[in-house]
Amino acid sequence: MNPGFILSLPDNSLCIDNKTRGTSDGNSVWLFKFNGSPAQQWNFVPLMNLRAMEVAEDAA
């Protein structure tokens, strides 16, 4: 799967950017001007466990 970019809807010159290109938990992300760098490329992972969603639907 190829990485993709997450662009801002109100201003598509901005995208989600990994502030320090770090990979540790708690690393900061921010909106930054789109430049196509690796810090702005994201791998989209399918959600396999929707347990929280199932519980919310049962409560409705």
Q: What are the pLDDT digits (tens) for 4-24?
A: 999 999 999 999 999 988 777
**Six token digits for residue 34:** 């789109």
Question: What residue type is assigned to position 34 of the chain?
Answer: F
Q: For residue 50, give the 3-state DSSP assignment.
A: coil
Among residues 2, 5, 55, 3, the alpha carbon closest in space to that of 33 is found at 5
Residue-level pLDDT at 7: 94
C-beta of residue 13 within 8 angstroms of C-beta of residue 34: yes
CA distances, 60 to each of 10, 20, 54 (Å): 32, 41, 10
**54 pLDDT higher than 60:** no
